[in-house]
Amino acid sequence: MRLVIIGGGISGLSLAYFLLEQRPALDILVLESEQKAGGKIWTDKIDGFLCEWGVNGFLDNRPKTLELVSKLGLTPLRSNDNARKRFIFSNGRLNLLPESPTAFLASNLLSVRGRLRILWEPFVPKWQGGDETLAHFATRRLGREAYEKLIDPMASGIFAGDPETMSLKSCFRKVYLLEQTYGSLIRGMINLQKEAKKTGRKVGAGPGGVLTSFFDGMETVIQALTAFLGERLRTGSPVVSLDRKTTSYEIFLGDGTTLSADAVVCATPAFVTSAMVKELDRELSAVLSEISYPSISVVCLGYRREKIRQNLDGFGFLVPFREGRRILGTLWDSSIFPNRAPEGYVLLRTMLGGARKSDLALEPEDTLKGIVMDELRGIMGISAEPDIARVYTHPRGIPQYTIGHEQKTARIAELCRKYKGFHVTGNAYGGIGVNDCIENSSQLAQRILQEI
């Protein structure tokens, strides 16, 4: 049996690994349209600076990722302890995000009224209306101020999303289940803490875990998977379309050649898969096309340390939409992991665009550099010219889980089941993070092995 995996990002590469780990003799071919594999995981090295093109790490709270890393012989690198400090830019200054209930009550990030409103949360009735937006949920349970200053920037930082359209159930399922189970976030957290004391396990509403990467950046894991696959990975091979024959699939490549396969997995962005399967199934193509992908740009600026007066003891900062700024936030990468900047230098990585300002991310590189430098001047007081600057633009970069996403993914799965040996995977369906992609690939590998 020949299996072709279309897409050489972390989903496609890890799927191939999990399949070959259990069935080394499987005839597997991975096709990647770009000249090198990796998807959104590329690491750029410039004059001693290490700039992540996209993903900058994963949380160490999911065993499947750590297991894969271990089997590949890699050494994970946990972020520095000072990276636990995170800031929100609000009311013209950087405010430390409270790390405990006591610190929250003492913090000036929210007004006294805003803090009291959060304490009222246990008395808010449980929602009975089905899926709701993150904005509606947060405002309903925590109040408008907490939503605007805390939840909104968090959504921008994780999804580059718009909370007014994001599905709570699809984006933050643990939080959704907390309310459904306990009727209150605060009551739920108290119960989870009691459970943690009994079991000794760390539990909570948030994702938990410590941000983790590698000394030479996230592309380390891609290089290891690429080396493992060897000639089974073919880069520079874009797929134009595919169709179903009587007992096999015909795959049409951009160079005019065709391949035949007994089974196919599309591990490409939903809009790419949509175009690919148009001849196979027009309804499937249409549903896939409904998953939106706003654009996002990453601007990396490197400075001599003495050029920056701001204390960089922390992870970085996020910016609430209400502040009217043109950036989503800035990570102090050289404070998070070692080896991100030469001795005596610092590296700052800023995000622009996302669901609310997608077009902004597509501005020319010089324009984006200028915007970031203007914003950092106002937020961090940086007036000096950077020593290095790089811009990485991702047109249609991050899939959005908007209201109705669960129904879309259920319909996609139902339509795929019509075709024996055909599957889709990737961060458009069951989680956008590296951990989600790897875990979903592991589960899909088991299903494929059972089928064959």
Please write the tens of the pLDDT for every residue from 225-272: 999 999 999 999 999 999 998 889 999 999 999 999 999 999 999 999
Mean pLDDT of 382-390: 96
Is 64 among the domain residues? no
Helix (H) or strand (E) holding 316: strand 316-318
Mean pLDDT of 315-330: 97
Is 88 among the domain residues? no
pTM of the full predicted structure?
0.94
| Spatial distance between the Cα atoms of 130 and 329, rounded to a whole number of angstroms | 32
Is 77 among the domain residues? no
Mean pLDDT of 274-287: 97
Q: What is the pLDDT of residue 207?
A: 57
User: Containing domain of residue 373, as a range?
Assistant: 294-394
| Strand 263-266 versus strand 329-331 pairing type | unpaired
124: exposed, middle or buried (C-beta count within 10 Å: 0-12, 13-18, 19+)? Answer: middle
DSSP per-residue letters across 204-252? -SS--S-EEE-TT-THHHHHHHHHHHGGGEE-S--EEEEEE-SSSEEEE
Encoding tokens for residue 155? 């959504």
Model confidence at 208: pLDDT above 80: no
Task: Express each pLDDT in 90-130 by its tens digit.
Answer: 999 999 998 877 888 788 899 999 999 999 999 999 998 88
Do 385 and 416 fall into the same domain? no
| Spatial distance between the Cα atoms of 160 and 139, rounded to a whole number of angstroms | 19
Q: What is the pLDDT of residue 372?
A: 98
Q: What is the pLDDT of residue 14?
A: 98
Nearest to 429 by CA among 269, 205, 222, 240: 269
Q: What are phi and psi of 348, to 5 degrees?
A: -115, 135
Q: What is the pLDDT of residue 201?
A: 57
Tally of residues, the chain: 452
pLDDT-above-70 percentage for the chain: 98
Of 100-114, 140-154, 295-309, 342-356, least confident by mean pLDDT is: 100-114
Domain containing residue 258: CATH number? 3.50.50.60
Is 217 among the domain residues? no
CA atoms within 13 A on the CB side of 376: 32
Do 287 and 318 fall into the same domain? no
Domain count, the chain: 3
DSSP character at residue 127: P
The answer to whether the CB of 45 falls within 8 A of the CB of 320 is: no
Model confidence at 198: pLDDT above 80: no
- Given 378, 394, 410, the domain boundary residue is 394
Separation of CA 391 from chain center: 19
3-state secondary structure of 179: helix
Of 195-209, 262-276, 366-380, 434-448, least confident by mean pLDDT is: 195-209
Q: How confident is the model at residue 200 (pLDDT cuts 50, 70, 90)?
A: low
The answer to whether the CB of 161 falls within 8 A of the CB of 354 is: yes
Of 167-181, 193-207, 392-406, least confident by mean pLDDT is: 193-207
Mean pLDDT of 383-404: 96
Q: What is the pLDDT of residue 202?
A: 56
Q: What is the pLDDT of residue 103?
A: 82
Spatial neighbors of 181 by CB under 8 A, at least 6 apart, are 188
248: exposed, middle or buried (C-beta count within 10 Å: 0-12, 13-18, 19+)? Answer: middle
Task: Express each pLDDT in 65-91 by its tens digit.
Answer: 999 999 999 999 999 988 889 999 999
Task: Express each pLDDT in 153-184 by its tens digit.
Answer: 999 999 999 999 999 999 999 999 999 999 99
Q: What is the pLDDT of residue 196?
A: 74
Q: How confident is the model at residue 284 (pLDDT cuts 50, 70, 90)?
A: very high
Do 300 and 389 fall into the same domain? yes
The answer to whether the CB of 427 falls within 8 A of the CB of 3 is: no
The answer to whether the CB of 43 falls within 8 A of the CB of 51 is: yes
Q: What is the pLDDT of residue 266?
A: 98
Give me the sign of the Cα torsion angle 352, 354, 356, 357: positive
Model confidence at 359: pLDDT above 80: yes
Do 386 and 305 fall into the same domain? yes
Q: Which long-range contacts (CB under 8 A, 24 or more apart) does 139-143 make?
A: 141/179, 141/185, 142/117, 142/118, 142/185, 143/114, 143/117, 143/118
Do 308 and 374 fall into the same domain? yes
Do 280 and 407 fall into the same domain? yes
Whole-number Cα distances in Å, 307 to 47, 292, 344, 361: 18, 40, 10, 27
Is 412 among the domain residues? yes
Q: What is the pLDDT of residue 206?
A: 54
Alpha helices in 296-364 (DSSP H): 333-336
Model confidence at 194: pLDDT above 90: no
Q: What is the pLDDT of residue 348?
A: 98
Q: What is the pLDDT of residue 231?
A: 97
Is 148 among the domain residues? yes
Model confidence at 381: pLDDT above 60: yes
